[in-house]
Structure 1
């Protein structure tokens, strides 16, 4: 008794679970019978005590054991002395949940954010601070008005689609057809639907490295293989991308060419043209994430959307959430009509209903006479905040940083030895909550900062914190040499 099988590939704690279950089922362990003490059982099995504890906890969760502090572990007794029916091992299923694998660093940041302290500066959250979000007057609306609104089909609220088409034409001087525009509950739903409808588990997708796509659990949950392509000052390196396409049979290329998240890089028009030609050559569709398009400081002529260069091959994702706040949850996907029809049908089957309420609010905002003026004021304020944060970092010789040209992210790289986990803890200790590079790639020396969240009043606090962190990291790094 108490001998583990030698099956390879099975964790030791699972072997212990299977061994105890076999003894219970075969009657060698009876209802109410006490198991050997944890330390004694570990000695018998030749394993660590912690491994035994893990196995016993699992068996308790499954209903097979009852553990009493100070008394030990006992085989559970069901009614009338019959052992309880085995329960599903839900923990084992939950361990496979890609949406539940939160990075410990993010958990700690969320904990600090909940403290709501004046000394905590959040430059991690990927949205505008509340004070910068434009405010628009809402005309009197009754509940009946919402119920009577009939201009929504499977593609979304028609007046909003028309308003988005007008906005894109005005901004970029090219036309999106309202028949090919699908309203989504934010940009991430558009991504999710693309993965579900156009790809299947095991398919390969090329993304920029670093990229916020790397941080999204929806790819892992869908079984999609992500491959990072290095970037230069112009964005994704095309020679590396072509090599990757040949090597891994890439099915789709996903890029964020304007104010890339997290680096803030902007892909020039020539690189955009070459990227389009490369993907046409291999007949691979491009997903273009353009959620920062409305926060540009560069002329649209210099950075035309990939969708404008290749309307048929590019799936174009836009969003109002970056300027109207994430709670609006308004995004859109422009794709060939046949593609969007399939995606709209799939969404309906999944029962992802699209609320009319945020769509009406989005349409009201886009048609407000003051929309252009308020957007201009927003861009000006965000620009000033970006310049201020950039200036602070530029003066610190240990950080390499590029001046932002739009969006609201700044990417800073530490110019010393590779940073360790303890170095990043300095950010948490000082209450400067930023996004480390390892959230977006293998890069451990860079940090993403949402400069829109640093007001003029908060700038001295930001300067104080980043200077103190930099000094501390530099000293720690020097001590390792």
Structure 2
């Protein structure tokens, strides 16, 4: 037998064998009713344990492909191509072989625990319910009548909302643009997905920050891209690192989160911003600027976006209302060259025929009202209060056990363990104590880090949450 299972593959050996046998049956090498090699014989040929072959045959039996009877061996189902025997699709095979890779198992575990259990949640990157502008939305729905068109809207998004976004980004972000260069998306992540799928091809090299939220996204690997890391220090990424990656790997795109970066909370230094834009112009490297947090600046001063400084059309700008209004509203937008926006709008139309009109109407009303600026002012105050509670609690309960930099905006605090402790095992123990955080390995290459999101728990929960975390950490000392 020429075929052998691949022991370096992440897929279990028994599944590889089952799929190999199924292919042989489909190709006609094993006909209906024919006897398959005995477990002992096949195990010897493939150099695997007999129990592995047993598991493979059992997989095939469960799918109705083979029959097994003690004393007579394993046979291909006599009616495999007939109608008298119904076969269940091998859904496990479909689940494992889709082109879009699943999220990291640890990320899925955190999500499941925080959804299903009463747990103090420092893991989920969103606002707590009390920070949503719920009263405004209730008032809006009671006082105004929606009389918009409920059919398919423009692929780029509702025109009225895009006009409002033009005014909004000019006032808050100093970005000059027009409606034809804007597309409404289902949050920032859809925008990134569209960019990866439509503007890049398998084998392309891209640069992402380390650590960063993008580090955790499987969509880069699903698209067959080669990702290279840009270390983040207290002033953000270094322009010389971008140049080095370009010279070595000819990176075709750079993904940056310059303001209160997720997860470190750092702000890209103004001088570095200028240097990065100069590099982009010199080498023709597109920059994807993800800016969900700049409005949360606790001082009220909003840093210049790369897009507002861009003189050459090098930057595609992405933001959303997810982190500053409500995650469930699912409203974001991107701003870029008109040809890029046209391409991405065409792709979005293929996926969902355009964004739902009703949340666009709600977002339009809110962004164009005085209530938006009032909400942002209140949000900054409350986020700063939560950050201060977190910092005070960590200093009280953890002391010198962790090191962290206090962020001046955003919703995340990035902490490093000062002892050699596996943060994944620490998470398991923390969950047992009723608190969750994000282990650093989901977001970056360096071990021993953790992200605490202070926007998600209620203010009254923060001190108790860190107390529980300290109890879990104590078990590793």
TM bucket (normalised to shorter chain) is: 0.7 to 0.9
Matches within 5 A, 1:205-224: 205-224=206-225
8 Å CA contact 2:104–2:216 kept in 1: the answer is no
Aligned to 2:403: 400
- Cα separation, partners in 2 of 1:182 and 1:423, compared to 1, 3 Å: same
Aligned to 1:107: 108
- Cα separation, partners in 2 of 1:27 and 1:173, compared to 1, 3 Å: closer
User: What is the CA–CA distance in structure 1 between the aligned matches of 2:111 and 2:82, rounded to whole Å?
Assistant: 47
- Cα separation, partners in 2 of 1:86 and 1:18, compared to 1, 3 Å: farther
User: What is the CA–CA distance in structure 2 between the aligned matches of 1:168 and 1:27, rounded to whole Å?
Assistant: 64
Matches within 5 A, 1:379-418: 379-395=380-396, 396-417=399-420
**SS state at 1:453 partner:** coil
User: What is the CA–CA distance in structure 2 between the aligned matches of 1:25 and 1:225, rounded to whole Å?
Assistant: 35
Q: What are the ranges of 5 or more consecutive residues in structure 1 without an aligned counterpart?
A: 476-481
Aligned to 2:320: 319
8 Å CA contact 1:171–1:300 kept in 2: the answer is no
Aligned to 1:225: 226
**SS state at 1:322 partner:** coil
- Give yes or no for the alignment of 1:428 onto 2:431: yes
User: What is the CA–CA distance in structure 2 between the aligned matches of 1:46 and 1:184, rounded to whole Å?
Assistant: 52
- Cα separation, partners in 2 of 1:381 and 1:68, compared to 1, 3 Å: farther
Q: What are the ranges of 5 or more consecutive residues in structure 2 without an aligned counterpart?
A: none
1:256 CA drift (Å): 0.2
Matches within 5 A, 1:50-69: 50-60=51-61, 62-66=63-67
Aligned to 2:163: 162
TM-score, normalised to structure 2's length? 0.87
Matches within 5 A, 1:301-340: 303-311=303-311, 312-340=313-341
8 Å CA contact 1:390–1:402 kept in 2: the answer is no
Matches within 5 A, 1:177-188: 177-188=178-189
Matches within 5 A, 1:271-310: 271-298=272-299, 300=301, 303-310=303-310
1:60 CA drift (Å): 3.0
Aligned to 2:254: 253
User: What is the CA–CA distance in structure 2 between the aligned matches of 1:18 and 1:33, rounded to whole Å?
Assistant: 16
1:375 CA drift (Å): 1.8
- Cα separation, partners in 2 of 1:23 and 1:167, compared to 1, 3 Å: closer
- Cα separation, partners in 2 of 1:282 and 1:68, compared to 1, 3 Å: farther
1:17 CA drift (Å): 5.6
Aligned to 2:2: 5
Please give the root-mean-square deviation of Cα atoms over the aligned residues, in Å: 3.3
User: What is the CA–CA distance in structure 2 between the aligned matches of 1:400 and 1:80, rounded to whole Å?
Assistant: 64
User: What is the CA–CA distance in structure 1 between the aligned matches of 2:371 and 2:18, rounded to whole Å?
Assistant: 68
- Cα separation, partners in 2 of 1:267 and 1:34, compared to 1, 3 Å: closer
**SS state at 2:460 partner:** coil
1:64 CA drift (Å): 1.9
With a CA cutoff of 8 Å and minimum separation of 6, indicate the structure with the bigger relative contact order.
2
8 Å CA contact 1:35–1:75 kept in 2: the answer is no
Aligned to 2:148: 146
**Range with greater deviation from structure 2 (105-114 or 272-281):** 105-114
User: What is the CA–CA distance in structure 2 between the aligned matches of 1:343 and 1:81, rounded to whole Å?
Assistant: 46
1:79 CA drift (Å): 7.7
Aligned to 2:124: 125
8 Å CA contact 2:427–2:437 kept in 1: the answer is no
User: What is the CA–CA distance in structure 2 between the aligned matches of 1:27 and 1:193, rounded to whole Å?
Assistant: 43
User: What is the CA–CA distance in structure 1 between the aligned matches of 2:414 and 2:362, rounded to whole Å?
Assistant: 33
How many pairs does the alignment contain? 465
8 Å CA contact 2:32–2:80 kept in 1: the answer is no
- Cα separation, partners in 2 of 1:361 and 1:285, compared to 1, 3 Å: same
Aligned to 2:372: 371
